Structure 1
Amino acid sequence: MVREDLYITVPSFFKCPISLDVMKSPVSLCTGVTYDRSSIQRWLDNGNNTCPATMQVLQSKEIVPNRTLQRLIQIWSDSVRERVNSAESQADNSVPSQDRLVEIIRGMEIQTEKRLDSLSKIVCFAEESEENRKFLAKIDGFVPMLVRFLDNADGGVSVSVEFLDHVVRVLDLVLSKFEDCELLKNLMLKGQGNCLDSMLLVLQQGSTDSRIGSSRVLQSIAIDAESKLLIAGKEGLMSELLKLITPDKDPALIEAGLSCLISISIPRRIKIKLAQQGVIKIFSKLLSESNSSLSITEKVLKLIETVSSCKEGRSEICEDPVCVPAILQKVLKVSSMATEHAVTILWSVCYLFRDQMAQEAVTKANGLTKILLLMQSNCTPAVRQMSADLLKIFRVNSKSCLSCYDTKTTHIMPF
């Protein structure tokens, strides 16, 4: 179907009086009339000595290039070409109907050379509405087909990063509507692990959207100990996830990376690996950032709490000069969840495992005051009990000033 707004009106003075086509090389005769060079040259070569438009006898057959008109025609031609390309691009990027989408998906199995274009159309369709994403997720065999594309990539050698980028984006968009996470996990983690190779390549070289998508997909398939270990055991993958959460990255990217790390960091082996890769220093920087969002702060504290349950993690927390003071800054006035994570970390290193360095760090950072204020706030019973345990530790510490607080701070309100 031809779009009405693509009909082109050609200015009359751009047309050659002989051929009536747009002039490519306009030249003027001595009569002042301009023609296309090839047309007027043919007229003169045939023995004519008159001006075709005026029929005046030519005093000279010399032709002079009309540079001004040629430039005007060029500007006009460029604008028309840009308009046509824009219209074609809009047509290519238009959201297909559901019936058309099914045809596109069926054709992807056969027409391998058009897969990237087809994936672009599917991305547009999925991004338009939740209903479209639900429709895609319910198409029989669609999600397994996407996984096959990842699995057949052979570590990204035989397909482009752009293609994998689109596959991951589509997969991420339909994940929330795809109910069988167990099937997805089995499809992606079976065999030689080429899917993880593809996900790693996207994390390394993909766009911001696809790296966020890759993190979410990995999070969705980390549903048991085996899958968590397989993901974390993929060489280079953990390192790439840690690169996503540095303070200079996009907040959405940081949050996706943190969520993925939370989902895979439950096994002890992975906690130790995180600690050994210097994750505590990264977390300390994120906590120290004044513009970190509430969600990012809560996720960072959750991960520190997770890592603090292993000896290697506690050692990193206590040896980092920034970590404990940064945690204390989040004990109050952030959120109840952040408070619980922060107090649990302090309770773990100071009370449960009696680390002297951590205790001294809490004292130097005026942590006792914060704990006392917290106990007078509307905190949960669990937080109140852990705070009381912490006070017991500092009560017997000769360097502590707690005796002063016992009688002089009962009136202090938390905020």
Structure 2
Amino acid sequence: MCILVLIANKPSLSLMTSISARRPRSNMNLAKNTNVGILIPNDFRCPISLELMKDPVTLPTGITYDRQSIERWLETGSRTCPVSNKVLDEYATDEDIIIPNHSIRRMIQDWCVANQSFGIERIPTPPIPITLAIAVEMLTKIASAARDQDRNRCGILVRNLVASTKKCERNKRYIEGAGADHVLATSFEVFAKDDSVVAEVESSKNVFFEEILSALTLVFPLDKEALRHIGSPESLDRIVSILKFGTIAGRLNAALVVKELVSSGKECLVGGTQGLVQALTKLIREPVSPQITKASLTGIYYMVSADEKLASEFAEMNLVSLLVEKLVDLDKSTCEKVLAVLDGIFGSETGREKGREHVLTIPVLVKKMFRVSAMATEFAVSALWRLCKALKEECLIEAVQVGAFQKLLLLLQVGCCEITKEKVSELLKLMNGYRELECIETMDFKGLKRSF
């Protein structure tokens, strides 16, 4: 299939692009493999993108653009018409400047229908974007339903909000700008406090809270007030319940909220939540979906990196053994996160002890150097550095045996960040006295025996 570009003796904005499509089999009796160019009328193409307009809108200057293209133009701060260069009213809102052109849209749709036999798909009628006032009104109703403890009405309103947010990027911007994160987080906390006792099998009640979390994840990042409300003890208790017993979508959103909390420096809020460490560890031990696993690992990483006590708690849940065994065969993204978590856990004495006890810990860390990515290599080096620096001879001997010395030398040659370079240099100095030890094959770990 070929694409033809016909250049007329006109300015570049008059360029006519043709979409080639193969004629139906019944119309191909003149010549086999004949390609027919379908010209897009100039009036149907956006002057900015030069593509067929899906949602044509007209500026006060009379020039019609595709909504997505002109909105991006205005978002840059430009208050001029791209074609005419005329200045637009700087005090007018986007709703006043951007007027839907229904006539052109219907003409485009009719043209698409008329050319369906050539493979042209009909452009659907675009959703009507909400205004900032409508967004504020929607959120006001949600806040009112929360104050009245009207769970059913609040649930309906939240579902409508989610639907509007997903319709188009403009809706999402207005909903975010109207303070959706604060309203949703506050509503979640209000209803969570209403349930003084969270039963571990309240699946029906969890569905309602899952809907609020679903809406909340659409308006990340959360501001300080929203983080405070969603990070309250009552809210976190409900989030733990969803992590344990929620639907797949609910668990994912709950893990994403925990990730948002701890990545914002709120690990102190979640650290004392009963059952959270166990719930996150279970999601790693019994994977529900790759997305949930990755979100959980990221949340755990921020927790163990910031708090040694939390690192010890995760280590006591045998997370080190679990992650080391999973490391043998993981995709790049998950492998990076697992190595990051191990590095964080090894920051605690309990974590290092658990790492020393597992026969695969050091061999796998060494194996992952250069095997995954530069980031994975840096985390593997850091984890190895923590173990060898604290445990000395027993770890150093094993590291040299599985080829760590040669890999670390190579890493210095190919280059790495300054922090990693310092750790590599220190490791090489520590291992220098054990260089004469025989290096075993790092690929075969099944028969590996410690020499001490």
TM interval, short-chain normalised: 0.5 to 0.7
Instruction: Output aligned runs, 1:3-402, within 5 Å.
Output: 97=130, 104-108=138-142, 109=145, 112-140=151-179, 142-143=183-184, 144-156=186-198, 160-176=205-221, 178=222, 180=223, 182-190=224-232, 193-222=233-262, 227-246=266-285, 248-265=287-304, 266-289=306-329, 292-350=330-388, 352-397=389-434, 400-401=437-438
Please identify the structure whose Cα radius of gyration is greater. 1
Which is worse superposed, 387-396 or 313-322?
Answer: 387-396
Alpha-carbon distance, 1:95 to partner: 9.1
CA RMSD in angstroms, aligned pairs only: 2.8
For 1:399 and 1:379, the matched residues in 2 are separated by 26
Contact 1:155 1:194 in 2 (8 A): no
- Report the Cα distance in structure 1 between the residues aligned to 2:166 and 2:192, rounded to whole angstroms: 21
| Residues 154 and 198 in structure 1, CA contact (< 8 A), matched pair in contact too | no
Task: For structure 2, list consecutive stretches of 5 or more residues without a partner in the other structure.
Answer: 1-126, 440-452
Q: Give, in whole Å, the separation in 2 of the partners of 1:243 and 1:129.
A: 36
Do 1:203 and 1:240's aligned partners in 2 also have CA atoms closer than 8 Å? yes
Is the 1:151–1:188 contact (alpha carbons within 8 Å) kept by the matching residues of 2? no
Deviations 1:246-302 (A, max 9, x none): 37442111110011112222112111111111110121133112xx23222222111
Distance 1:156 1:138, change over 3 A: farther
1:101 Cα offset (Å): 5.9
Between the two proteins, the alignment pairs up a number of residues equal to: 300
d(CA) in 2 for partners of 1:147, 1:134: 24
User: What 5-or-longer segments of structure 1 have no aligned partner?
Assistant: 1-93, 403-415
- The one-letter amino acid paired with 1:313 is G
**Partner of residue 24, structure 2:** none
List structure 1 segments (4+ residues) > 6 angstroms apart after TM superposition. none
2-structure distance, mates of 1:156, 1:172: 22
Query: 2:213 touches 2:254 (CA, 8 Å); kept in 1?
Result: yes
Shift in Å at residue 316 of structure 1? 0.9
1:224 deviation in Å?
A: 7.4
Cα distance in 2 for partners of 1:249, 1:212 equals 9
Aligned partner letter, 1:185: L
Note closer, same or farther for the CA distance 1:234–1:146 as it changes in structure 2 (3 Å cut): closer
* Deviation, structure 1 residue 102: 5.3
Q: 1:200, CA displacement in angstroms?
A: 0.9
Using a 3 Å threshold, how does the CA distance of structure 1 residues 169 and 340 change in structure 2: closer, same or farther? Answer: same
Indicate how the Cα distance of structure 1 residues 155 and 328 shifts in structure 2: closer, same or farther if over 3 A, else same.
farther
Q: Percent identity, please.
A: 20
Label 1:300 to 1:194 Cα distance change in 2 as closer, same or farther (>3 A). same
Decide whether the 8 Å contact of 1:317 with 1:323 is kept in 2: yes
Question: Which stretch shows the higher mean deviation, 379-388 or 116-125?
Answer: 379-388
Residue type matched to 1:173 in 2? Answer: L
Contact kept in structure 2, 1:307 and 1:314, CA below 8 Å:
yes
SS of the counterpart of 1:133? Answer: helix
Instruction: Quote the residue 1:10 is aligned against.
Output: none
Structure with the larger helix share: 1
- What letter is aligned with 2:281? L
- Alignment partners' CA distance in 1, 2:215 and 2:289: 21
**SS where residue 379 of structure 1 aligns?**
coil
Q: How far, CA to CA, are the matches of 2:242 and 2:416 in structure 1?
A: 43
Which amino acid is 2:243 matched to?
Answer: L
CA drift at 1:391: 2.5
Q: Which moved more, 1:114-123 or 1:332-341?
A: 114-123
- What TM-score do the two structures reach when normalised by structure 1? 0.65
Letter in 1 for 2:164: F
Letter in 2 for 1:299: K
